[in-house]
Structures are given as C-alpha cells and as structure tokens.
Amino acid sequence: MNFPNLLTVLRTIMSLVTAVLLCFDPAGLPTFTFFFFVTAGATDWLDGYIARKNNIVTVFGKFMDALSDKIMVIGLFLILLGLNLYKDWQIFAMYCALICVTREFFVSGIRMLAAGTGTVLAAEKMGKYKAALQMYSIGAIICARAVELDWSGFEPMYYFAFYTGIGSLAIATVLSTWSGISYAFRYGYLLKA
C-alpha cells in the first residue's frame, strides 16, 4: 500500500475516532477533537496531492478516497444531529443532511451504472465546492462546541463558528441539489439501459 492510500485509510479511521470523541466532553477534549478533525480533513487534500505529484494514482486510491469522504461527511452529520449540536437549527440541519446524503447515494449509483457500461464520468467542480463546504460546516459546528465547552467568555467566536457552519451547510445543500440534478440530466440515460 502506497503512502497516499495509507493516508486515505487513516482519514477513515480518524473520522470514526472523531465521532467517538464528540460523545465525551471533559475539559480540553472538545478542543482536541476539533484539531483532530481538522487534521483528518487535511489528509483529504494531502493524499491526492502526493498521489498526483508522484504519479501513483491507483484504482484503490480513487475508490477509497471517495468512500472515505462519504464515511466522514455522512458519519459526522449523524453524530452532530444525534448530539443535537445544531440546537435550534436541528430540523433545518436534518433536512439539509438528508438532501446531501441522498445526492451522494444517487451520484454513487450513477457512477456504478457508468462503470458497468465503460462510461467515464468527469468530476464536477461543483462537487468539489460542495464537499469543501460540507467539511467546513462540520468543522465549524465542532469548533463551536469546543468554544462553548472549553473557552467560556468567547461568545463572538462561538456565534461566528456556529452560524458560518449553518450557512455553509445551507450553501452545500443548494450545491448538492444542483449537482444531483445536473448528474440526472447528463447521465440519466444510464438508468434506462
């Protein structure tokens, strides 16, 4: 297994560890959890950069990278919702997460059908923006939790993190919807094959 693939697998493990860490809140752990999540998220960029720079892109790497991203985003959406970290925005966040997850399954299904017919689906920039906003949103909510529990007296920082997390989730949901519709129009013919 090459180094970029190892980083991808590590990101999956770190995502699951982040989910566990969020369930506990002794002093200092929420802040550690936030930086742990940021480190996990950074591997998403780093593994791809190293693989492309050294021309060691593999089928396993491409598959596992996409799967790792989905595990991270979907898993942490579930944890944040389960722990009620969206507070008064819980219902809004739940529907946003539902739309985003539905899009992920739909596009993954289209990709599987395309692979079966030998069709290559080009990656969309909109998908990359959507993913970046989802990661930011999750990180911002985790940051808001860390500020609330570990840094009392920093209310402006809490509100900034929390509301940018909600805002970026809303934008990511719009992009998810747009991207899903775009895939349906461009590759819907695969559903008829």
Quick count: other Cβ atoms within 10 Å of Cβ 102? 13
Q: What share of the chain has pLDDT > 90, as a percent?
A: 69
Answer yes or no: are the C-beta atoms of 143 and 161 closer than 8 Å.
yes
Is residue 148's pLDDT more than 80?
yes
Could you tell me the pTM of the whole model? Answer: 0.93
**Residue span of the structural domain in which 178 resides:** 3-192
Quick count: other Cβ atoms within 10 Å of Cβ 139? 20
Q: What is the C-alpha separation between 134 and 136, in angstroms, rounded? A: 5
Residue recorded with tokens 């693989």: 51
Report the domain count for the chain.
1
Answer yes or no: are the C-beta atoms of 92 and 33 closer than 8 Å.
no
Answer yes or no: are the C-beta atoms of 140 and 162 closer than 8 Å.
yes
Q: What is the mean pLDDT of residues 116-122?
A: 75
Element (H, E) at 163: helix 155-187
Return the minimum-mean-pLDDT range out of 50-59, 97-106, 129-138.
50-59
Rounded to the nearest 10 degrees, what angle do helices 125-150 and 59-82 cross at? 40
**Is 120 or 43 the better-scoring residue by pLDDT?**
43
C-alpha 31 chain-centroid distance = 19
Is residue 120's pLDDT more than 80?
no
Q: What is the mean pLDDT of residues 143-166?
A: 96
Work out the pLDDT band at 96, boundaries 50, 70, 90.
very high
Measured CA distances, 40 to 43, 110, 141 (Å): 5, 28, 16
Is residue 54's pLDDT more than 80?
yes
What CATH number should be reported for the domain holding residue 128? 1.20.120
Return the minimum-mean-pLDDT range out of 35-49, 66-80, 102-116.
102-116
Segment 4-47, tens digit of pLDDT: 899 999 999 999 999 999 999 999 999 999 999 999 999 988 98
Please name the amino acid found at residue 10.
Answer: L
- Going by C-alpha positions, the residue among 59, 41, 49 that lies closest to residue 1 is 59
Q: What is the mean pLDDT of residues 130-155?
A: 96
What are the backbone angles phi and psi of residue 100, rounded to the nearest 5°?
A: -65, -45
Work out the pLDDT band at 193, boundaries 50, 70, 90.
low
**Is 186 or 19 the better-scoring residue by pLDDT?**
19
Q: What is the C-alpha separation between 34 and 44, in angstroms, rounded? A: 16
Q: What is the C-alpha separation between 97 and 81, in angstroms, rounded? A: 9
